[in-house]
Amino acid sequence: MEDRRKQAGRRAFLKAGGFVAAGGALGSLGALAIGTGVGENQRKRARWIKTVDRPTLSEKTADYKRFSGKDMFAIYVPLKTQRDGVGSFEAEQASKSKRLAAWMSERKPGFSLPDQQLSEGAWTVMRSSRPGTGLLSWTRPPADTPATPAEPCAQRYKASPEEMASTVKAAARLYGARLVGIAPMNENYVNQQVPREDEKQIDKDIVFEDIDVPSVTDTKFVIPRKMKWVVAIAIPMDLELLSRAPTALGDTASALGYSHSAFVVSSLAVFIRGLGYEAIPCVNDTAQSIPFAIDAGIGELSRLNKLVTPEFGPAVRLCKVFTDLPMAYDKPINFGLVEFCKTCKKCAEACPSRALSFDSEPSFRTRGPWNNPGHKAWYEDSYKCFEYWQKSGSACGVCLVSCPYTKGNQAWIHEGAKAAVSVAPATDGVFRILDNAFGYGKQRDPEQWWKNNSSSERRG
């Protein structure tokens, strides 16, 4: 019934607004989506996605440097104490726990016990993965995995850089990657440290040295300087779950993305090592994923200050593998996103915490220690964002699903609209209007997710 009403509403809007004829024009533009792709980044990629020599928003100043590596939690706690006094964070956490317990008891949609446990289960793989150990081991296959035979490692697999790139991308796609690109190593994108996990540990420096094999010691993580290639990977999030944000079901979309990322990079690292080369698998740890993904042609930097891909919008999780396996590099892309972001602002309007920038132009002005200075961007206020996480009892994600580029399929009208934006910025406003008119980006009923996925057709 809901789908029929949505379809009827769309038809009525198209008739009233005179967009039926426009739809035909978008359909012809949609032909741009039928192409041979941008290099080998994806087997088929829309022709309106252009390669460029330099990424959009690539300007940097002398202030640009390696980020500390601290996550928002580590930054938020001392700031919260500074702003609201000693014990304020603990009180906030206690209040959050009490709210979540009450919501579970009340079976609040999106926060019931099954909702919460769905998220917990989805986190399983990622929470068992730590930099340098287990799935994310820098030097050997994960525990309980058969060792790679010595013979293939003794004699390296040889092929041209182009063939090597194709081979690695094919393997990455098999393991679950949807977008894959090869970028050159940039030491400025690598974090300064791997933060400690508890008070008994210490922060470990990440350093580059002239060694043959990656090393993890009691005091540092060592990356061989010969690792000059980075395999950047994007894994789409489940939009049926993400559209239930901000709830535990929305969190499940993030959890699945992270756990899938850990599986993909660990599998790819073992594959590369079996060819006779070194590999370091990373998810959010070790280095900044976004700049590597930008250099590899996965997407562009957006108003969200996150990566937006032309295929899946910002609703992706990023991960990467460092290696000394020589491969052909991909180029950055430009699909008109920056110009679109200047006028759209839908994500900033949708953000419940008002953490996103409404500025018309990106700038070098940062908004806190969570921002890495020295590059042009629409900087976000991550403190406000994290504070809302605490209040809402979830990791939100509203901004991700609100973006007009976030679509669950590549329907011709979606692709046609994106193609129009890429070649005719004057159509940016129409894309935004259509996105709103069709109801995209709105929160969906959490309870309906369980009903949709409990039918006999979806079992087994």
**pLDDT tens by residue, 140-185:** 654 445 555 544 455 789 999 999 999 999 999 999 999 999 999 9
pLDDT for 159 equals 95
Question: From CA 352, how far away is CA 360, in angstroms rounded?
Answer: 20
Residue 26 has pLDDT above 50, yes or no: no
Mean pLDDT of the chain: 86
Is the pLDDT assigned to residue 460 strictly greater than 50? no
Is residue 25 scored above 60 in pLDDT?
no
Q: Are 200 and 300 in contact (CB under 8 A)?
A: no
For the chain, what are the domain ranges? 2-447
- Choice between 248 and 201, residue whose per-residue pLDDT is larger: 248
The alpha helices in 275-350, defined as continuous H runs, are 289-295, 337-344, 346-350
Contact 231, 282 (CB under 8 A): no
CA distance 276 to 153: 4
Model confidence at 27: pLDDT above 60: no
Position with higher pLDDT, 19 vs 442:
442
Mean per-residue pLDDT, 8-16: 40
Residue 36: what pLDDT?
Answer: 41
Mean pLDDT of 241-256: 96
Averaged pLDDT, 192-209: 87
Element (H, E) at 300: strand 300-301
Asked if residue 78 lies in contact with residue 324, where contact means CB atoms within 8 angstroms, the answer is no
21 pLDDT more than 70:
no
* Residue 411 pLDDT: 62
Asked if pLDDT for residue 361 goes beyond 50, the answer is yes
DSSP-assigned beta bridge partners for residue 220: 205
- Rounded mean pLDDT of 46-66? 93
Q: Which residues contact 108 (CB under 8 A, 6 or more apart)?
A: none
Mean pLDDT of 402-425: 78
The better pLDDT of the pair 43, 442 is held by: 442
Select from 406, 411, 413 the least CA-distant residue to 434.
Answer: 413
Give the model's pLDDT for residue 342. Answer: 95
SS3 389: helix
What pLDDT, in 10s, does the model give residues 269-292? Answer: 999 999 999 999 999 999 999 999
Q: Is the pLDDT of residue 33 over 50?
A: no
What pLDDT was estimated at residue 231?
98
pLDDT at 416: 76
Residue 426 tokens, joined: 């004057």
Share of the chain above pLDDT 90, in %: 72
120/114 Cα distance (integer angstroms): 10
Does 10 have pLDDT greater than 90? no
Structure confidence by residue, pLDDT tens digits, 110-129: 999 999 999 999 999 999 88
